[in-house]
Amino acid sequence: MARAGSATHGHTPSRIRVRSPTFVGMSNADPLAVPRAEAARLLGLSPATLRGWSAATPPRGPRAVKLGAGRQARALYPVSEIREFLADPQAYERSRRSPPNAHR
């Protein structure tokens, strides 16, 4: 049995609240990052597409933060990355491909 507030396979932890994709009225109680399934919903994609984008060379789409290791690993997507990607996907992809010091 899972502890209260802990993540179980296929479920969102109870402490993570998710807003609509418009991100209107975000407060300090809103999440800094969301699980892959919620990120996919916000982007209008399938979780499998996001997983494939993360594994691509070079990676595509919003950056994911991997927590854990092996089969227990979880991918979380920072809300700031999702917002930036939604604002201008092509510019986001270009910035992601450029070398770290290319703009200096």
The C-alpha atoms of residue 69 and residue 8 are separated, in whole angstroms, by 15
Nearest by Cα to 78 from 35, 44, 40: 35
Q: In angstroms, what CA-CA distances link 18 with 7, 11, 22, 35, 90?
A: 15, 13, 11, 10, 26
pLDDT tens per residue, range 8-61 = 444 444 444 444 455 555 555 678 999 999 999 999 999 999 999 989 988 899
Whether pTM > 0.85 for this model: the answer is no
Q: What is the pLDDT of residue 29?
A: 65
User: Which tokens in the block code for residue 30?
Assistant: 């809103």
d(CA 104, CA 91) in angstroms, rounded, equals 17
